Amino acid sequence: MSVLTTPAGIATGAADALRRRPGADVAGSAFKWLLIGATVFATGFLAVLLAVMIVDGWDVLSGNLWYFLTHGFSQRSAGEAGVWQGILGSLQVALVTGLFAVPTGVATAIYLVEYAQGSRFARIVELNIRNLAGVPSIVYGLLGLAVFAQTLNGFTGGTTAIAGGMTLAAMVLPIVVITSVEALKAVPDSLREAAYGVGATKWEVLSRQVLPAALSTILTGTVLALARALGEAAPLILVGAATGFMAFGDANVFETFTGPYTALPVLIFNFARQPGADWGANAAAASVIILVLVLAVNGLAIYLRNRFEKQW
């Protein structure tokens, strides 16, 4: 008996020591809950934001949403103002942005990954892209004003949707390049070798094998970039979108590209600048609209990415 006591005693003691005692790790659980709190704060304010905007804009959203969506800006009274011009202008600007940013960005990524990897020029371009990604958006506005609106006046027609779109294209270019580079790097080399192996030229390998394989990821990056452009106001203010009006009237769709223009976020800024609760309601309602738009576009991009994620 006494022989057995010692090991058994140790075993019992060890079992006690190994058992989780309630309240033993106070610091540990406090830390964990602190982290959870931070995470909830970081992500939860989106819900608060949406709720506040919906409440503040409720009069507009519930009462005359259709009117609000289909009418233009008005300086006279908040009740007469709508966001139609802003939505149309944002679409125009986004179209121009896409037309400039996507070909340039994807082509740059192709050059970096497929042609010049590791070369001196490629390192310069990469450094340049990383730095461009950190340039504040309003500085792009200066570029747009001085170069696209003034120097290239003959092409853009001054402070127009074309100049605004080009400005935002320059701004989102790093996003397009960086996501496209990642997409191309994810295409396995075995695919390239297979195509080279049957006698394809570099262009044939790229255009028929590599690009189709990378397309879905590139598309995701493009959508994300356009979503970013959709919500951006600061550079457009410098490139003439501040008035809140668009050339409309008899002008056809193509002419509106070369006249005065506006965009939805700029319109929200205009609403927010006006004193009074009615204008505040307009700003909140328009905020809900842009949030829904931007979140939908981003959600689409994230969905696309997750759907096509595991190809290889």
Partner 1 sequence: MNPEKALMTDESDAPEMLVPSEPHPQTRIDVSAVAAMAGQRAATETVFECGDINVYYGDFLALRDVTLDIAAHEVTAFIGPSGCGKTTFLRCFNRMNDLIEGARVDGAIHYHGVNLYQDEVDPVEVRRRVGMVFQKPNPFPKSIYDNIAYGPRLAGVKRSALDDVVEGSLTRAALWDEVKDRLKTSAYGLSGGQQQRLCIARAIAVQPDVVLMDEPCSALDPIATGRIEELIAELKTEYTIIIVTHNMQQAARISDMTAFFSVQANERGHRTGELVEYAPTSLIFTNPDDPRTEAYITGRVG
Partner 2 sequence: MPQDTSDLSVADLRTSARRRAWSAGARWAFALAALATVLVSALIIWTVASGAWTFISQVAWGSLTEIGWFPRRGLFDLSTLLVNSVQIAVIAMLVAVPSGFGAAIYLSEYAHPGVRKVMKPTLELLASVPSVVLGVFAISFITPSILSNFFSEINFFNKLAAGIAVGLLVIPLIASIAEDALRAVPVALREASSGLGARKVTTSVRVVLPAAMSGLMAAVIVGFSRAIGETMVVTIASGGGDTSLFNLSLFESGGTLTSAMAALGLGTDQVAGSTLAFQSLYFLGALLFAITLVLNMAGDVIVRRLQNRY
Q: Which of residues 102-131 bind partner 1 (CB under 8 A)?
A: 117-118
Nearest-angstrom CA–CA distance, 1 and 251:
104
Nearest-angstrom CA–CA distance, 310 and 181:
17
129 contributes a contact to partner 2 by CB under 8 A: yes
- Exposure string of 99-112, with b = 16+ CB inside 10 Å and e = fewer, is ebbbeebbebbbbb
* Binding window for partner 2 (CB under 8 A); candidates: 6-14, 64-72, 143-151, 186-194: 143-151
Interaction residues for partner 2, span 264-283 (CB under 8 A): 265-266, 268-269, 272-273, 280, 283
Helix 211-230 vs helix 277-308: crossing angle, to nearest 10: 170
Sign (positive or negative) of CA dihedral 287, 289, 292, 295 = negative
Report the 10 Å Cβ neighbour count for 161: 33
134 contributes a contact to partner 1 by CB under 8 A: no
Binding site partner of 259, from partner 2, partner 1, none, Cβ cut-off 5-8 A by kind: none
Interaction residues for partner 1, span 150-169 (CB under 8 A): none
Binding site partner of 7, from partner 2, partner 1, none, Cβ cut-off 5-8 A by kind: none
Interaction residues for partner 1, span 175-194 (CB under 8 A): 188, 190-194
Interaction residues for partner 2, span 76-105 (CB under 8 A): 103-105
Query: Nearest 5°: phi and psi at 239?
Result: -100, 30
Structure tokens at 267: 């319109």
Sign (positive or negative) of CA dihedral 61, 64, 70, 75 = negative
Binding site partner of 155, from partner 2, partner 1, none, Cβ cut-off 5-8 A by kind: none
Interaction residues for partner 2, span 169-188 (CB under 8 A): 170, 173, 177
Interaction residues for partner 1, span 193-222 (CB under 8 A): 193-201, 204, 208-209, 212-213
